[in-house]
A = this chain, B = another copy of it.
Amino acid sequence: MFDIANDSPTGASLSAAIAAQVRVRRTQRGLSAAELARQAGLSKATVSALEAGRANPTVDTLDAVALALRIPLTDLLTRGTDPGPVLLRGTAMPDEGPAREMLRRIGGGRSVELWRLRLPPRTQVDGVAHSPGTTEILLVADGSVTAGPAAEPAELSAGDLLAFAGDQAHLYRSGGDPAEVAMLIASPVPGTS
């Protein structure tokens, strides 16, 4: 069965992520912790605990911090994601009721390209390795293809979905029939870091 990777593993790592975010964005802005506390209308103790990762702040305090840092609230909650490939077969979902499940979130600062790839029978296309951090997502619309990292390609048929890191050698190869694939390339924008 498919264990869909949720990027929220533990609550503990959440406060750690918040701590890192706050500290980074604060120093980026050239603020001292005391000054941040002042501008946010919080006590120094709160900010100190926040950045030490031993806090479980309320949304109000987080909002105050975000406002003082001039960043959107959600930016403080982005956790580091370093996923492996996601392979989703056509029948992976449970049977009952309507279902909507997130398979993967790709961090901010991305440029997204949407491609459509058509392969005549028995054709192979070698994908160029993109810049580090690039994620490719394939959705097989018709036919069947062998695609993915060159080291470990996957057999896909219509309805299958594959997400993998695009910063390595990869390929798309059709079988006996023509194949159509929707491809999405999410690459990091070089400037945001």
Contacts and interface: CB of A to CB of B under 8 A. Distances in A.
A141 interface: yes
A112 B106 CA distance: 5
Interface string A81-101: 000001010101100111111
A57 B59 CA distance: 6
A56 interface: yes
B118 A107 contact: no
Copies of this chain, how many? Answer: 2
A64 interface: yes
Contact of A90 (B6, B98, B116): B116
A183 B67 CA distance: 28
Contacts of A64: 11
Interface of A: 4, 6-8, 11, 14-15, 18, 28-30, 56-60, 62-64, 66-67, 70-75, 77-78, 86, 88, 90, 92-93, 96-120, 123, 125, 135, 137, 139, 141-142, 158-159, 161, 163, 180, 182-184, 186, 189-192
